[in-house]
Chain A
Amino acid sequence: MIGLSSYLVLAALVFSIGLFGVLTRRNAVGILLGIELMLNAVNINFVAFARYNGDLIGLIFTLFTISITVAEVAVGLAIVIAIFRVRRTVEADRLDLLRG
């Protein structure tokens, strides 16, 4: 029988890998992919806790996070395309107009 902590450690590993991607990628789309991985790990946590505590709320929260993530990706990529039109680059390091 697989215990709750196995799922939580798996989710923590995926979360750390996603964080590594967010920290090291230069490309804005690559950073978005890392954020996807992190949100995915959070969903695993939600479902595992909901299952092991016999609570329905975690499952419903997972549905909401999945839907909100889809909206976030759509808007994020639209912003990336809009930035690309103006600056001709999607490298996050070179998007420093607001740095002052």
Chain B
Amino acid sequence: MTLETVGFWVVAVVLLASSLAVVLTPNLFHAVLYLAAALVATGLVFLLLEQPFLFAVQLLLYAGGVVTIVVFAIMLTERLVGERIRQTSRHLVNGAIVSAAIFVGIVGFLLRAPQVPVRPGLEADATISIGRALVGPFAVTLELLGILLVTALLGALYFARGEE
């Protein structure tokens, strides 16, 4: 048992448990907190795959940004309605059947796929190469992404602003 094996199983259990909690807990606020745990666990998976830069991005953008926005939205809507929003589910059996079928399909595909050889060694710190690629061949895409983020920000402001 290497350190990576132990780490993988611990992170996998945490990730699956918190993901299940996200979709099963009746309290919407708790669901968001479990989502934060699942996102941090995903960041740890990136760390296991030796990508510390993506781990940092995941923490900053996802666990920091998304969770903050969702908590803000829940508090705002609860404030407007003046009561706790209960979270209910329906079609539990049908949903479980469809998800299980999708999972079996993916795993069946994986079983028939050719086995990928063992992971190659890390040549250099990927952060430097990512930075070089973002200002080199992907510069236009990066600019488009900036435009998208500004547009989304303005759109969100427009949708959520008051009546006045």
Contacts and interface: CB of A to CB of B under 8 A. Distances in A.
Interface in B120-164: 120, 123, 126, 129-130, 133-134, 138, 141, 145, 148-149, 151-153, 155-160
Dominant SS among interface residues on chain B: helix
B8 A6 contact: yes
B54 A59 contact: yes
Interface string A23-66: 11111011011101100100110011001111010011011101
A73 B66 contact: yes
Dominant SS among interface residues on chain A: helix
Contacts of A52: 116, 119-120
A62 B145 CA distance: 13
| Interface size grouping (class) on chain B | 35 or more
| Interface size grouping (class) on chain A | 35 or more
A29 B78 CA distance: 12
B70 to A, nearest CB: 7
B104 to A, nearest CB: 9
Contacts of B57: 63, 66
